[in-house]
Amino acid sequence: MDDSEKKHLNMRDGGAPSPPEPLSGDGPRKEMGKEMGMSNDKNEDTDSIAPSAISSTSPPSMHEDSDPERPRPRTQASSIASTAHHVDRRQRRGLFAALALIPEVTNSYHYPRRTKWMITVLVAIAGMAAPLGSAIVMPVLLDIAHSFHASTTIANLNVAIYMLSMSIFPLWWSSFSETLGRRSIYLVSFVLFLLFGVLAAVSTSMAMLIVMRVLSGGAAASVQAVGAGTIADIWEPKERGRAMGLFYLGPLCGPLFAPIIGGAMGQGLGWRSTQWFLVVYGAVMVLGILFLLPETLAKRRDLAKEAEDEVIRRMASRGNKGKDTVEDGEKKGFAQQQPQTLTRMSTRQSVQIKTRKYATLAKRIFIDPLLVLAYLRYPAVALTVYYASICFGSLYCLNISIQQTFSRSPYNFSTLIIGLLYIPNSLGYFLASMFGGRWIDRIMHREATKAGRYDENGKLSFRPEDRMRENAWLAAVMWPGALIWYGWTAEKGVFWFVPMLANFFFGIGSMLIFGLATTMLTEFMPRRASSGIAINNFVRNIFSCAAAVAAGPIIDAIGNGWLFTILGLWSVVSGCAVIWAMKKYGDRWRRTMGEGGI
């Protein structure tokens, strides 16, 4: 049969004309493109983008995909701009995605390193917003109390309840980010941060100020959950330690720079100027995210489809197997060359399915995010979060102590000078951020090489617990020792430089722990990276809230020396126990969670 007869027969049968045969050489070229995962189909669903490359290192990341035709993991040397496959501007995901100057790519690991660092810095600066808002009012709390004729205890709720909002809201932000994408969550949350910041600045009562600040803090707290997920999206595990250190520098510098800014602005312009500063900061972040942050999440979840499928499965399991409608059969996959007894769907059945679908969808949106706390049942997750939380709580005890101790005799420093006393901590954070992450990455390479762990492709296989080696032991002794050093020197009124030097070493030791814990959580929970960080934020901000409320009265009761001695001893014992347990049982715990993590 010649070609014309084939074409005629095909059209007679109702089919479309057969496509023309490819030119010579097209076949191999298509096959090559297929192998490289570089499809030219512009109508391809952009949600089904290529998975992020999994370096040999670790458990499969949240981008893992079983499709063998998608791009294989690339080494650092091959992760260059030429490998990035840009998504068409009309198919980009996220709110106002067409305005982003950095294009979305099918595999976020393939961004050039310069682009990765720019995204990391942007997310770190965004992550500074929430803690900046919590601490910027510390120097002006007395002014706020006088302005609204309230007690200092009520004024302190501006900080304490703000910290609670930072612990609770990220549970939902992290869940939403897995469904709506990172970019949309960043934009929505910072627009809300901007709006509530304006309302806080024009507050007419203490109640209004506290409520608006709580909502503002909850909005900005999205970055603390979603930010680490963004870092995990674009950096391979073997490079992630250094990137995570830089990202974590943002949230840590907020409580350190905020008192300096708040003291200077409050002394010259009044306490409301601190809230207007946050408004300007939020506006700058909205513009930065709008134009410079592309969508990095590999694949979003379709909650509506998942809810509908769940309802149909439940109805089928309750005795509806013999009464499937056409729609039910198609959605459950029953229409597969098998005879079906088709019946008309009643109005009652249709309403029942829709009602249950929306109820299930509401449950997944509002209730299920709380279920991430169940991950604390895994010892590896619980111990990592616990250790990071006592370190973060100690930081807020230290912040309260600096303000309270150095404003009294024998120091009697002014509000502006007290703000400057937070600089030594900042220097310690910067130093640990610049070198700590790189040090941790080298330790992981060393441990994997020493153990001879290689995958089927001959690449090193990394494990999260490899990050806790001599770096963790050093930090476990350094920051508790610095607390005790600070406590007794401040208690005895020693020259101000001596307790501030202790704060510098506290900054180094605590930053090593913060970066270590955050990175390990993203690797213990690679498919739920944002959820892991949300759990960490939830617990640590509860610790910091308790510290912010209790530190002042405890210092008045027993003094700095005994308070920080108790904290230091508790911390060093906890740290040594956690590191020992991770080394001894980490491998077993990870296998219990699944070799690839949660």
Q: What is the DSSP string of 435-500?
A: HHHHHHHHHHHHHHHHHT-B-TTS-B---GGGG-SHHHHHHHHHHHHHHHHHHHHHHTT--THHHH
Task: Please determine, for residue 125, whether its predicted confidence score (pLDDT) is greater than 80.
Answer: yes
User: Is 105 in a helix, a strand, or coil?
Assistant: strand
Query: Which value, to the nearest 10 degrees, does the dihedral of the CA atoms of residues 285, 289, 292, 294 take?
Result: 160
Report the pLDDT value the prediction gives residue 216, as an integer from 0 to 100.
93
On whether the CB atoms of residues 583 and 443 are closer than 8 A, the answer is: no
Is pLDDT above 50 for 334? no
Question: Cβ(139)–Cβ(271) under 8 Å?
Answer: no
Query: What pLDDT is recorded for position 481?
Result: 95
DSSP class of 96: T
Distance CA 136, CA 261 (A): 7
For residue 527, which amino acid is it?
Answer: R
Query: What confidence score (pLDDT) does residue 83 get?
Result: 66
Q: What is the enclosing helix (H) or strand (E) of 198?
A: helix 182-201
DSSP 3-state helix, strand, coil percentages of the chain (rounded to 5)? 75, 0, 25
For residue 274, the model assigns a pLDDT of 93
pLDDT of 386 over the 60 cut: yes
What is the residue-averaged pLDDT of the chain?
76
Q: Tokens in use for 105? A: 């790519």
For residues 409-416, give the mean pLDDT: 84
pLDDT category of residue 19 using cuts at 50, 70 and 90: very low
* pLDDT value at 360 more than 60: yes
Calculate ∠ Cα 64-70-74, nearest 5°: 75
| Stretch among 23-27, 174-178, 305-309, 583-587 having the lowest mean pLDDT | 23-27
Q: Which two tokens stand for residue 274?
A: 């601190």
Q: What's the rounded mean pLDDT across residues 490-515?
A: 91
- Residue 476 tokens read as 């476990």
Domains detected in the chain: 303-370 (no CATH), 378-593 (1.20.1250.20)
The answer on pLDDT for 55 being more than 70 is: no
**DSSP labels for 269-293?**
H-THHHHHHHHHHHHHHHHHHHHH-
Higher pLDDT: 274 or 106? It is 274
pLDDT at 514: 83
SS3 call for 86 = strand
Helical (H) or strand (E) element with 569: helix 529-593
Residue 514 CB: number of other CB atoms within 10 A?
Answer: 27
Task: Say if CB 340 and CB 334 are below 8 A apart.
Answer: yes
Could you tell me which residues come within 8 angstroms of residue 430 by beta carbon, excluding any fewer than 6 positions away? 249
Predicted confidence (pLDDT) at residue 209 exceeds the cutoff of 90: yes
- d(CA 53, CA 110) in angstroms, rounded, equals 8
Give how far Cα 547 sits from Cα of 380, 390, 420, 553, 574, Å.
Answer: 25, 10, 22, 10, 18
The tokens for 549 are 């409320």
Measured CA to CA, the distance from residue 346 to residue 301 in angstroms comes to 30
Inform me whether the pLDDT recorded for 441 exceeds 90.
no
pTM of the model: 0.65
Higher pLDDT, 35 or 539: 539
Predicted pLDDT at 48:
34
pLDDT for position 306: 61
Q: What percent of the chain has pLDDT over 70?
A: 76
Element (DSSP H or E) covering residue 116: helix 113-127
Largest CA distance in the chain: 104
Comparing CA positions, the residue from 476, 452, 438 lying closest to residue 580 is 476
